[in-house]
């Protein structure tokens, strides 16, 4: 079964059986439930929802199904067409809309797609709201509009430009120094909408852009998750072009990773660390990331006198804790920058602009910048789920075994050792168990991950 219903939206593979995959019937079912939920939030005469998509091959099909379902409910739709997740998030309040839907499966391969659901603030729904939509979908008691009350679709292709203007207007984005630095950058847009938005932003900042896989065809040239092992071509081009650095984003442009001038990864985890370093140097305060993120953010935050706290995994959980702690910047270690001065959503455009501002100020190479941060190494591994695997039981057994260590159980099990940590959890977006570890060397992190994979295997067989 590859239809996953979680706080990260309704996600599945295209085709197959209804209810087991993301089929047209499932797309209509969950779009209908979302439309009913929208109407339940407030009693008014006209409702409006913003819809955009990444460049996946299935995107146009799923978007048309979703939009026509909404107008069938009497809800007006603003069609952004090819867009980015953060662009849709910004567009919702700018349109004074009642919600938004992004059609994207983020970092998942091309056979996947998803409905990511937003509230009237342009923020992801929380667990309670998501549960209501799932309940509406299962009940199936949905009343559609009569012919005189159908909604209308309005196309608006201006929002990527409006998003870029919003980023350039942020007080900490130093446009003139960036222009004067005359950076040269290679951009890997993984043949999705990042190939549209990121080069446009860079060109507005006077950056010399070399495009790699920036045609929004939806034919991903490599695994779209922005990890070292998928980016050999970007590494090669950065060196060949003698670029200052490389940029890669995921298909919906909410995750961001950098590559230094030598073609070496800056470290996906260190995207947030660097942006936080820059923001905290101007506006000291608190930070938040999720439990699977590097300790380096804690170290940088404390350097500026702030307090760091970790949330459960999932953007909505990070945002909730950010609001509670009144943080100045936060996000996720997977390259997701959340900057409240802009909006409460992961935004690669904001991350690029803050990183460029930091580089222009520091006047140093990206490899030199990386050396200024605490050096931690992470291992990110996974175990495919099978129907006979009792994940909850396995995690309970591990929790008991390590009860004398520092444990956190708000999201799976995280064990903090003095010089390392391991986080074991069931993914919200894939049928897998994630095993994340961090230590003082790569070999230690990998060894720790392999140790726990072996423990899980032994428990499952016992």
pLDDT in tens, 106-128: 999 999 999 999 999 999 999 89
Comparing 162-370 with 377-461, is the CATH topology the same? no
- Mean pLDDT across 272-294: 97
pTM of the model: 0.93
Q: What is the pLDDT, as a whole number, of residue 289?
A: 97
Structural tokens at position 341: 């001065």
Distance (Å, rounded) from C-alpha 65 to C-alpha 205? 38
Q: 227: pLDDT confidence band, cut at 50, 70 and 90?
A: confident
The domain 3-157: what is its CATH number? 3.40.120.10
Q: At what angle do helices 159-168 and 194-204 cross, to 10 degrees?
A: 40
**Contact of 223 with 230, CB cutoff 8 Å:** yes
List the catalytic residues.
106
**Contact of 190 with 249, CB cutoff 8 Å:** yes
Q: 308: pLDDT confidence band, cut at 50, 70 and 90?
A: very high
Residues 311-353: tens digit of each pLDDT: 999 899 999 999 999 999 999 998 999 999 999 999 999 999 9
Structural tokens at position 302: 């404390």
Distance (Å, rounded) from C-alpha 104 to C-alpha 122? 16
Q: What is the pLDDT, as a whole number, of residue 28?
A: 97
Candidate CATH numbers 3.30.360.10, 3.20.20.140, 3.30.70.260, 3.30.310.50; the one for domain 377-461: 3.30.310.50
Q: What is the pLDDT, as a whole number, of residue 462?
A: 82
The full set of domain ranges for the chain reads: 3-157, 162-370, 377-461
Average pLDDT, rounded, for the chain: 95
Distance (Å, rounded) from C-alpha 161 to C-alpha 139? 41
Q: What is the pLDDT, as a whole number, of residue 87?
A: 98
Q: 443: pLDDT confidence band, cut at 50, 70 and 90?
A: very high
Residues 144-185: tens digit of each pLDDT: 999 999 999 999 999 999 999 999 999 999 999 999 999 999
First to last CA, the chain: 25
Q: What is the pLDDT, as a whole number, of residue 7?
A: 67
Residue in the structure block whose two tokens are 């980015």:
84
Q: 1: pLDDT confidence band, cut at 50, 70 and 90?
A: very low
Distance (Å, rounded) from C-alpha 93 to C-alpha 336? 21
Q: Which residues are registered as beta bridge partners of 425? A: 434
Q: 139: pLDDT confidence band, cut at 50, 70 and 90?
A: very high
Of the chain, the percentage scoring pLDDT greater than 70 comes to 99
Distance (Å, rounded) from C-alpha 285 to C-alpha 300? 11
DSSP 313-382: SSHHHHHHHHHHHT-SEEEETTTEEEBTTTBSS--HHHHHHHHHHHHHHHTS-HHHHHTTS---EEEEEE
- SS3 state of residue 61: helix
Under DSSP, the state recorded for 95 is T
CATH 3.40.190.290 fits 162-370, yes or no: no
Distance (Å, rounded) from C-alpha 10 to C-alpha 30? 8
β-strands 184-188, 3-6: how paired?
A: unpaired
Under DSSP, the state recorded for 16 is S
Residues 12-51: tens digit of each pLDDT: 999 999 999 999 999 999 999 999 999 999 999 999 999 9
Distance (Å, rounded) from C-alpha 117 to C-alpha 102? 7
Distance (Å, rounded) from C-alpha 316 to C-alpha 327? 15
Distance (Å, rounded) from C-alpha 26 to C-alpha 10? 9
**Contact of 320 with 128, CB cutoff 8 Å:** no
Sequence length of the chain is 462
């Amino acid at each position: 079964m590859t239809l996953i219903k979680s706080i990260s939206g309704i996600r599945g593979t295209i085709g197959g059986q209804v209810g087991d995959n993301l089929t047209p019937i499932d797309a209509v079912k969950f779009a209908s439930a979302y439309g009913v939920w929208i109407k339940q939030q407030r009693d008014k005469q006209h409702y409006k929802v913003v819809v955009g998509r990444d460049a996946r091959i299935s995107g146009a099909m799923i978007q048309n199904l979703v939009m026509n379902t909404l107008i069938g409910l009497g809800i007006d739709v603003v069609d952004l067409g090819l867009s980015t997740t953060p662009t849709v998030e910004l567009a919702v309040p700018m349109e004074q809309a009642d919600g938004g839907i992004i059609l994207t499966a983020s970092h998942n391969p091309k056979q996947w797609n998803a409905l990511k659901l937003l509230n009237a603030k342009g923020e992801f729904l929380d667990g309670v709201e998501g549960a209501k939509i799932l309940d509406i979908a299962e009940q199936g008691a949905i009343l559609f509009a009569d012919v005189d009350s159908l909604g209308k679709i309005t196309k608006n292709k201006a929002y990527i430009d409006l998003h870029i203007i919003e980023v350039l207007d942020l007080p900490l984005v130093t446009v003139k120094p960036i222009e004067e630095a005359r950076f040269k950058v290679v951009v890997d847009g993984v043949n999705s909408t990042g190939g549209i938005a990121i080069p446009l932003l860079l060109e507005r900042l006077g950056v010399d852009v070399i495009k790699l896989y920036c045609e929004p065809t939806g034919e991903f040239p490599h695994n779209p998750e922005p990890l070292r092992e998928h980016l050999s071509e970007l590494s090669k081009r950065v060196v060949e072009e003698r670029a200052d650095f490389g940029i890669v984003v995921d298909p919906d442009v909410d995750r961001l990773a950098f590559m230094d001038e030598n073609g070496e990864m800056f470290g996906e985890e260190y995207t947030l660390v660097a942006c936080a370093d820059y923001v905290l140097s101007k506006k000291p305060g608190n930070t938040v990331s999720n439990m699977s993120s590097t300790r380096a953010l804690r170290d940088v935050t404390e350097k500026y006198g702030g307090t760091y706290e970790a949330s459960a995994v999932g953007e909505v959980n990070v945002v909730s804790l950010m609001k509670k702690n009144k943080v100045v910047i936060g996000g996720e270690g997977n390259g997701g920058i959340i900057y409240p001065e802009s909006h409460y959503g992961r935004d690669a455009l904001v991350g690029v602009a803050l990183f460029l501002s930091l580089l222009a100020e520091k006047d140093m190479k990206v490899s030199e910048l990386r050396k200024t941060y605490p050096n931690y190494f992470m291992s990110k591994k996974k175990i495919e789920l099978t129907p006979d695997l009792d994940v909850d039981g396995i995690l309970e057994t591990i929790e008991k075994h390590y009860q004398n260590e520092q444990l956190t159980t708000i999201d799976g099990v995280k064990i903090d050792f003095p010089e390392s940590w391991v986080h074991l959890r069931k993914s919200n977006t894939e049928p897998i168990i994630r095993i994340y570890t961090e230590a003082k060397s790569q070999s230690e992190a990998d060894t720790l991950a392999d140790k726990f994979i072996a423990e899980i295997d032994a428990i499952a067989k016992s």
